[in-house]
Chains A and B, each alone.
Chain A
Amino acid sequence: MTDHVSLRSGVYADSVSLLQVSKQVAATPGVRDAQVAMATPLNLETLAVMGFDVPADASPNDMVVALRLDAASVETVSLEGALAAVDAALAAASAPRAAGDTAVAPPRTTATSLRDAPEETIVMVSVPGPSAFVEAMDAVEAGHDVMVFSDNVPLDQEVALKQAAATRDVLVMGPDCGTAVVGGVGLGFANVVRPGPVGVVAASGTGTQQILALLDQAGVGVSAALGVGGRDLSAAVGGRSTRTALARLDADPATTHVVLVSKPPAAEVADAISAYAESLSVPVELVLLSADTDLTGGTEALLATLDVPTPTWRRWGVPDAVHGPGRLRGLFVGGTLCDEAMLVATQELGPIRSNIPLTGDDALDAASVLAGDLGDEHVMIDFGDDALTVGRAHPMIDPTLRLAALAHTAADADTAVVLLDVVLGHGAEPDPAASLAPAIADARATAAAEHGRTLPVVVTLVGTRSDPQDLERQAAALAEAGAYVFSSNAEATRHAVALVAPVPATTAGEAR
């Protein structure tokens, strides 16, 4: 071993830099120990313990360079080399560093993002269901409205969230709220609509979108669209968000008419909400979906109160003049559209099997849907249902599952008519027809090739002229592929139903 100790007078570096220098030099091959330090009493003691012989005249203003070289490597690493390493490390320690990343990292929780947020900030939560409540609660506690796009949020968490919101006059939209328009900004899946007098309160997303699109076609604008989530009017949740949303719109000077859209709620909740709606100064049109009430009809009723003539709802393409035999297969991305279609079709066709059935007897499990096994009855599938979106994007973003089901269905000789929906707007696929139109053409070709017949494909196209996907282009592409395209889901469903040979209710479900 070779020891080297030298003093550098009048040179100073802070102790931290010198620790780093020592570390670097010690990492030089052949250097066993390296201690570069100011000659303070403590450091001198350390050096003595290490066995270095430091000159007695060292003062705290001197820098000590102490090196111990391995005997074996003295040949290859000269003392000069080691000292050069010291010089290099000292120079590096005092050199200005390359500019680090001074950008401020984005916030990691909703709570921190809201610390300096303006009062009118809205939070949109779309994290996986098990984590949605915690983020939404951050918003509620900070006094901000929140839209919970996430699905698979447990019911008790929804109740807790809405209870907390009620005490702070905060609006919770959702969970499982697909669509909202606030201050002209569309949240989630939202169509581009003109400003206007109508406020929409809706339990779910695609129902809202149908109404927005039909109002747009009639030339009527919207002040706000507030989603409340599909369970808000259940007995457990009790319409908490519906009340808050109605109150907001009642207080909004831009809103002169309100339309409230929901599946049939629990009877006592329906009564309470109806009573509440009547207590408001703004007129509220209740559209509670049933066999007798659909979204198109509700919109028409609203237009009547606005004194706006109802237009002829647009259609594109040419109808197939074909009648059954076989079954109607509805493959939907919109839950409310699927619901509405079932309510409309059931009157003529009897029970319809579904993963979101009108009655429990008609339930079709998610596994069967994924396997393409739709049985041989009338079927309507909601591909946006929670069970089909666990760990997967909504079908308005990711069409994979529905496209697979369409191909499967077309190959089934029992399929008489396919009913589809296409929903445009912000958040949805940038060009849904790009994949769906060829799939429709393929489906019709498959039916023709395998069974020698025409397979009618009926499509509901929900969108406005201003939507980013270009409504006319989408409609044209779908019609070109052979689909008959409607802007009204109720009308589309009635058309599809008419194409299917009626099956007596008594034998429905026994046809196999």
Chain B
Amino acid sequence: MTAAPTVVTVGTSLLADAIDEQAVVARRVDWQPPMPGTADDLAAVAADPLRAEANARAVAAYLGVTAQLVDVLPASEALGLQRGDFLHAGPPIDWERASGPMRGALMGAAALEGLVADPEDAPAFFRAGAGAGYTLDPCHHHHAVGPMAGVVTPSMWVFVLEDASTGARTYCPLNEGLGKVLRYGAYSDDVLARLRWMSSVLGPVLQRAVRSAGPVDVTALLAQMLQMGDEAHNRNRAGTLMLLRDLVPAMIRSGSRAGDVADAVAFVGGNDHFFLNLAMPACKLALDAARDIEGSTMVVAMARNGTDFGIQVSGTGDQWFTGPAQVADGLYLGSYGPDDANPDIGDSAITETAGIGGFAMATAPAIVRLVGGSVPDALATTRRMGEITLAENPRWTIPVLEFAGTPTGIDVTRVCRTSILPQINTGMAGRVAGTGQVGAGLVTPPTEIFPAALAALAERAHERAAGRAPTE
């Protein structure tokens, strides 16, 4: 008690000045009032005796997962999807509320599955509702994630990722490339032709390679990517090439036709985003391990369906907290402009939820101009995300930040306390069905979903304190 302490001050600057006057430099917190109306709920959640340990458990569970690519399978087999089943990105939505790109992707997928003869016939099919013999359900409800519209149907092939220690699995469809593609809502003949080739050639070639090369450690590849300038959301170039490095020998040896192997390698190598569809399920696998821990305030999913942006939180089960998806701020392809862009869409924000993508901007100087200006801005973005996260990921480190771990585990309370919203790097789909990609940029969730999640956490804490069972 005799040594002069380090003093952290939060609040009145005058009192911090009084510390400074004593030749002890106060470490000042740049405190600002919390989001309006959240003070009581913040106090209730802060007082929750379960919270600290629940969050520690959630982070530990998340960090304990090693995601391995163990197989490539048709969705019918991997997910048990049957004819007429459609998975989609984001929180639940129906046809009536679906945005242009979501509708476009559903139309293309309906044609792909032979449910309609022509994509243009699909709107009538979907408008008829559940009685028409189809189901529409979020990918997230099936341990799956889908980029952009995220539409998955039985004939599409998916990556199968597994946590070696628990056997838990997650799934994601194969990446189709850029431009006019189904996930951005395009459904022209060449889009469908490419999807058919992916199911008939690419999927089987990859399956044979993965099965013979053995599991691919995606978590470890992500660690290397982050050291090589990929933030694993809008830039996956190093990851894609490393995946090829690991799989090409097996592809050549596995008995696939040489021409098919060549086509597959050219397709994967020509698509820098191919690895994104492995990064996403790897992130989901780790985050799923952190789900359903009573008292935890950690966000375990952020996802958008083109209409709504939703989050799920560890301590509130499968409940979605949703608000209107925002239009990204960014750069547009060709002559497209803001009027052409659909609001934010896709499950790919699972990467930010896991602490990469926008959260790892500092490691990806090659794309900073696309998503936020200068290199110092990128460093600041990653540091800022550290304000709303529970931990750093010791496996995923950023060289330019002295190998600091990526900010990990978005904390609902910290978001409400600081008003700092998660920064998401994203692609932009055209507003009109059939358009495809129109740009890429930055987006944040709608503010109100975090106070809503906080209120639910506070309610459960109150219920527990009162000795009643928590309600769903």
Identify the stretch in B88-96, B300-308, B378-386 within 8 Å (CB) of chain A at 4 or more residues.
Answer: B378-386
Judging by beta carbons under 8 Å apart, are B11 and A125 in contact?
A: yes
Complex Cα distance, B8 from A117, in Å, reads: 9
Judging by beta carbons under 8 Å apart, are A19 and B1 in contact?
A: no
B272 and chain A: residue at smallest CB distance = A15
Judging by beta carbons under 8 Å apart, are A99 and B7 in contact?
A: no
A residues near B8, Cβ cutoff 8 Å: 110, 113-114, 117, 121-124, 139, 144
A residues near B52, Cβ cutoff 8 Å: 141
A160 and chain B: residue at smallest CB distance = B47
Complex Cα distance, B3 from A252, in Å, reads: 12
Within 8 A of B (CB), among A212-271: 223-224, 248-249, 252, 254-255
For residue A509, CB closer than 8 A to chain B, the reply is no
Judging by beta carbons under 8 Å apart, are A106 and B28 in contact?
A: yes
In the assembled complex, how far is the CB of residue A42 from the closest CB belonging to chain B, in whole angstroms? 5
Which listed residue, A42, A113, A118, A195, touches B29 by the CB 8 Å rule?
A113
Judging by beta carbons under 8 Å apart, are A427 and B18 in contact?
A: yes
B386 and chain A: residue at smallest CB distance = A112
Q: Mark B416-444, 1 if CB is under 8 A from A, else 0.
A: 01101000000000000000000100000
Identify the stretch in B19-27, B106-114, B347-355 within 8 Å (CB) of chain A at 4 or more residues.
Answer: B19-27
Judging by beta carbons under 8 Å apart, are A35 and B335 in contact?
A: yes
In the assembled complex, how far is the CB of residue B304 from the closest CB belonging to chain A, in whole angstroms? 23
A residues near B166, Cβ cutoff 8 Å: none
Judging by beta carbons under 8 Å apart, are B376 and A109 in contact?
A: no
Judging by beta carbons under 8 Å apart, are A187 and B7 in contact?
A: yes
Complex Cα distance, B19 from A426, in Å, reads: 8
Which of A124, A130, A144, A187 is packed against the most chain B CB atoms within 10 Å? A124
Judging by beta carbons under 8 Å apart, are B374 and A124 in contact?
A: no
A residues near B179, Cβ cutoff 8 Å: 42, 45-46
Identify the stretch in A177-185, A400-408, A494-502 within 8 Å (CB) of chain B at 4 or more residues.
Answer: A177-185
Judging by beta carbons under 8 Å apart, are A110 and B30 in contact?
A: no
A residues near B197, Cβ cutoff 8 Å: none
In the assembled complex, how far is the CB of residue A303 from the closest CB belonging to chain B, in whole angstroms? 22
B33 and chain A: residue at smallest CB distance = A131
Of the four ranges (under 10, 10 to 19, 20 to 34, 35 or more), the interface on chain A belongs to: 35 or more
For residue B2, CB closer than 8 A to chain A, the reply is yes
Complex Cα distance, B370 from A124, in Å, reads: 41
Q: Mark A142-176, 1 if CB is under 8 A from B, else 0.
A: 00100001100010110010001000000000000
Within 8 A of A (CB), among B24-44: 24, 26-34, 39-40, 42-43
Contact (A100, B375) CB under 8 Å given A19-B331, A157-B43: yes
For residue B115, CB closer than 8 A to chain A, the reply is no
Judging by beta carbons under 8 Å apart, are B29 and A105 in contact?
A: no
B residues near A113, Cβ cutoff 8 Å: 8, 10, 27, 29
Contact (A108, B334) CB under 8 Å given A125-B10, A133-B43: no
Contact (A123, B10) CB under 8 Å given A17-B369, A109-B29: yes
For residue B60, CB closer than 8 A to chain A, the reply is no
Complex Cα distance, B335 from A123, in Å, reads: 54
Complex Cα distance, B376 from A125, in Å, reads: 31
Which listed residue, A105, A117, A120, A126, touches B383 by the CB 8 Å rule?
A105
Q: Mark B1-16, 1 if CB is under 8 A from A, else 0.
A: 1111111111110111
Which listed residue, A17, A111, A124, touches B15 by the CB 8 Å rule?
A124
Of the four ranges (under 10, 10 to 19, 20 to 34, 35 or more), the interface on chain B belongs to: 35 or more
B380 and chain A: residue at smallest CB distance = A105
Judging by beta carbons under 8 Å apart, are A185 and B379 in contact?
A: no
For residue A275, CB closer than 8 A to chain B, the reply is no
Complex Cα distance, B44 from A157, in Å, reads: 9
Judging by beta carbons under 8 Å apart, are A106 and B335 in contact?
A: no
Contact (A105, B19) CB under 8 Å given A49-B334, A100-B376, A112-B386: no
Judging by beta carbons under 8 Å apart, are A223 and B1 in contact?
A: yes
For residue B117, CB closer than 8 A to chain A, the reply is no
For residue B455, CB closer than 8 A to chain A, the reply is no
B residues near A124, Cβ cutoff 8 Å: 7-11, 15-16, 19, 26
Which listed residue, B11, B19, B22, B47, touches A127 by the CB 8 Å rule?
B11
B residues near A26, Cβ cutoff 8 Å: 335
Within 8 A of B (CB), among A48-103: 49-50, 93, 97, 99-102
For residue B128, CB closer than 8 A to chain A, the reply is no
A49 and chain B: residue at smallest CB distance = B334
For residue B366, CB closer than 8 A to chain A, the reply is yes
Which listed residue, B1, B39, B180, B380, touches A182 by the CB 8 Å rule?
B1
Which listed residue, B15, B24, B29, touches A149 by the CB 8 Å rule?
B15
Contact (A20, B331) CB under 8 Å given A150-B11, A223-B2, A426-B21: yes
Contact (A134, B369) CB under 8 Å given A109-B31, A112-B387, A185-B5: no
A residues near B5, Cβ cutoff 8 Å: 120-122, 182-183, 185
Judging by beta carbons under 8 Å apart, are A109 and B1 in contact?
A: no
Which listed residue, B9, B18, B47, B369, touches A16 by the CB 8 Å rule?
B369
For residue B217, CB closer than 8 A to chain A, the reply is no
Judging by beta carbons under 8 Å apart, are B369 and A20 in contact?
A: yes
Judging by beta carbons under 8 Å apart, are B15 and A121 in contact?
A: no
Judging by beta carbons under 8 Å apart, are A102 and B376 in contact?
A: yes
B residues near A248, Cβ cutoff 8 Å: 1
Q: Which 6 A-B pairs have the closest CB atoms?
A: A100-B376, A126-B11, A426-B18, A19-B331, A127-B11, A16-B370
- Given contacts A33-B335, A122-B5, A126-B10, could you give 8 more A-B pairs where the C-beta distance is less than 8 Å? A16-B370, A20-B331, A124-B19, A127-B11, A131-B31, A182-B5, A183-B2, A393-B14
Interchain Cβ contacts under 8 Å between A and B, 21 examples? A14-B366, A19-B370, A45-B180, A100-B374, A100-B376, A100-B377, A105-B380, A108-B30, A123-B8, A123-B10, A125-B11, A126-B11, A128-B33, A130-B43, A134-B43, A183-B4, A185-B5, A185-B19, A195-B2, A249-B1, A393-B12
Residues of A within 8 A of B (CB): 14, 16-17, 19-20, 23, 26, 32-33, 35, 42, 45-47, 49-50, 93, 97, 99-102, 104-114, 117-118, 120-128, 130-135, 137, 139, 141, 144, 149-150, 154, 156-157, 160, 164, 182-188, 190, 195, 223-224, 248-249, 252, 254-255, 393, 397, 426-427, 468
Residues of B within 8 A of A (CB): 1-12, 14-16, 18-19, 21-22, 24, 26-34, 39-40, 42-43, 46-47, 49, 52, 178-180, 331-335, 366-367, 369-370, 373-377, 379-380, 383-384, 386-387, 413-414, 417-418, 420, 439
